[in-house]
Amino acid sequence: MRRLVAALSVIAIAVVAAPGCFGRECEPDVIQVPYGEGQTEGDFIDDASWESTPLRTKWLAFPGKRTWKFHIPRWEREGRPFVSMVGYVSAAESPDKVGCEPDCLLGDNWTNGTGFIAEFSQVSPGRFQVTNDSCSPFYLRVVMRAGAGTDSGTDSGADSGAADAQTE
């Protein structure tokens, strides 16, 4: 009985003391070619919304420590700043499978990538990057919304206050 308790204690200590990452999954991995420049990389939902992948398709592989660089050339040319940035993550490559029953795994779903799971950085009109700063593998879908640009010729809707100014 003592040997069993001792063996279980050793196993429990090894499990608790072992690091969360094994092998090479925690080494930084940066996709150098910006995603969004190719013909099939990302698409506009409407004039002010862009998605990296449609909801009902394969999402981008997002293993631990991976950084994806994104480029939306049209918004960069127009100087359109981002007003909303959302990174969705899933454990499944195609989390919203339709018509795949009974082969679908229960629990294929997604959530907002928060904290260090989907960190946005290097943000400027038409460019940004997203990093999975964890060691856990996910799949990524990004949906961006942009405001009016400097070259768009459209009113951004912001009130300059000029109408309220009084002159003497």
Residue pLDDT, tens place only, 31-66: 888 999 888 899 999 999 999 999 888 999 999 999
Q: Which domains does the chain possess?
A: 31-150 (2.60.40)
What percent of the chain is helix, strand and coil (3-state, nearest 5)?
Answer: 15, 30, 50
Residues 146 and 66: their CA atoms lie apart, in Å, by: 25
Residues 31 and 33: their CA atoms lie apart, in Å, by: 6
Residue pLDDT, tens place only, 99-130: 556 665 554 688 999 999 999 999 999 999 99
Q: Which pTM does this prediction carry?
A: 0.71
Tracing tokens 């000029």 back to the chain, one arrives at 162
Residues 64 and 26: their CA atoms lie apart, in Å, by: 6
